[in-house]
């Protein structure tokens, strides 16, 4: 029996978005949901206890980075990633493919895998479907991702076609190399860029392999938002309705809502902690750059409508002071708020699905946040 199971609870009559539950060996969580990213077995500046307080049911960790430091053998010796980082809820690990293609200036793609250089010290490395499975099996995550090629954007049709075919072959090799299928669920990744026929080919190839879940990859890589939404509109219906659907690397509020409307269950992104480190926060009234001089004497919370630890206890003026002085506590406060904001946003999305009013919620939120304004700033 598969260790990952999707349970459909309700479909929104207004939008078609779905409310569900994903069951894992480390607990169950409602969807659509946002996964905080803990690249190196930690969500930057936040403790596992704080993530639980916010309601995070699952986090993402990075195969490539943990392979390099501290090494998957050390994590395995510690009892797996859950024990190593003291996190008893769900963990998803990506395949490492995206980092190989984004961090390494030198890389050579062959049928057997990818040759590249370690971004830390320049050492020559090799990552293949089999190696990605070995690392993730050692890490012990609940959800593992198949090793895929992450093509650049934009890419030609010819390049993308060859890439999709290679990703399908690699997916089959991942399934064969997966040593713990009864304990860890392996998801396939649908590629194909913005080409509908290639997305269809990729989806058909992967669905035929009967993965317990499917991701849509190759989006949020520089394409306009309308292109991403269009791709989702013709891709998610190709995926099984009885299995989880995961949109990789997406975390801006508008894309979370638009993705849910298009049938996505799971999202992840480094956005909340990354922009938090730069002094930018998400609020119910829109984007706020706390470093701006206008907040020097502003003794109100970051977001008066937010109930997070940061907003209950600290003011804009104080947080601005901390960020301007490069104090780590300031980064902790903005990161806490941003991660909390997205987790709670998805709770609101789920409630709107229950009430068959996600379309109305979208319009209200976009208006309040400022997404409907001409030249609205996204992240």
User: 148, 254, 268, 303: which is the annotated catalytic residue?
Assistant: 268
The pLDDT tens digits of the residues spanning 48-64 come to 999 999 999 999 999 99
- Is there a catalytic annotation at residue 254? no
Q: Give the model's pLDDT for residue 260.
A: 98
Question: For residues 261 and 236, what is the distance between their CA atoms, to the nearest angstrom?
Answer: 11
The pLDDT tens digits of the residues spanning 322-356 come to 999 999 999 999 999 999 999 999 999 999 999 99
358-369 and 253-261 helices, crossing angle to 10°: 160
Q: Give the model's pLDDT for residue 377.
A: 54
Tell me the pLDDT band of 14, cut-offs 50, 70 and 90. Answer: very high
Work out the average pLDDT over 294-301: 98
Find how far residue 315's CA is from the centre of its chain.
Answer: 30
Question: For residues 79 and 3, what is the distance between their CA atoms, to the nearest angstrom?
Answer: 19
Tell me the pLDDT band of 375, cut-offs 50, 70 and 90. Answer: low
Q: Give the model's pLDDT for residue 271.
A: 97
The pLDDT tens digits of the residues spanning 18-29 come to 999 999 999 999
CB atoms within 10 A of CB 74: 12
Q: Across-strand partners of 20?
A: 8, 31
Tell me the pLDDT band of 68, cut-offs 50, 70 and 90. Answer: very high
- Is there a catalytic annotation at residue 268? yes
């Amino acid at each position: 029996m598969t260790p990952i199971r999707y349970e459909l609870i309700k479909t929104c009559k207004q939008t078609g978005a779905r409310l569900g539950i994903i069951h894992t060996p480390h607990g169950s969580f409602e969807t659509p949901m946002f996964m905080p990213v803990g690249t190196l077995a930690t969500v930057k500046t936040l403790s596992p206890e704080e993530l639980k307080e916010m309601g995070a049911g699952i986090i993402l960790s990075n195969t490539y980075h943990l392979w390099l430091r501290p090494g998957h053998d050390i994590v395995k010796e510690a009892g797996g990633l859950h024990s190593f980082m003291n996190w008893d809820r769900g963990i998803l690990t990506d395949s490492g493919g995206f980092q190989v293609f984004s961090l390494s200036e030198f890389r050579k793609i062959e049928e057997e895998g990818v040759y590249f250089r370690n971004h830390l010290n320049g050492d020559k490395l090799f990552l293949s479907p089999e190696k990605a499975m070995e690392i993730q099996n050692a890490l012990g995550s609940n959800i593992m991702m198949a090793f895929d090629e992450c093509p650049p954007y934009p890419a030609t049709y010819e390049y993308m076609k060859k890439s999709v075919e290679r990703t399908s072959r690699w997916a089959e090799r991942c399934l064969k190399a997966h040593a713990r299928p009864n304990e860890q669920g392996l998801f396939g990744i649908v590629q194909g860029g913005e080409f509908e026929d290639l997305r269809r080919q990729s989806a058909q190839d992967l669905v035929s392999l009967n993965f317990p879940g499917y991701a849509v990859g190759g989006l949020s890589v520089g394409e306009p938002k309308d292109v991403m939404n269009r791709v989702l509109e013709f891709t998610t219906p190709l995926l099984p309705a009885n299995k989880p659907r995961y949109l990789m690397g997406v975390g801006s509020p508008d894309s979370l809502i638009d993705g849910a409307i298009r049938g996505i269950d799971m999202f992840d992104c480094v956005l909340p902690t990354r922009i938090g480190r730069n002094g930018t926060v998400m609020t119910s009234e829109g984007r706020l750059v706390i470093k701006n001089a206008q907040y020097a004497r502003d003794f109100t919370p970051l977001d008066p409508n937010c109930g997070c630890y940061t907003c209950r206890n600290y003011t804009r003026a104080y947080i601005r002071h901390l960020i301007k002085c490069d104090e780590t506590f300031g980064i902790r406060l903005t990161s806490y708020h941003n991660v909390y904001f997205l987790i709670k946003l998805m709770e609101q999305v789920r409630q709107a699905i229950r009430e068959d009013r996600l379309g109305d919620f979208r319009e209200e939120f976009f208006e309040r946040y400022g997404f409907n304004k001409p030249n609205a700033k996204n992240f």
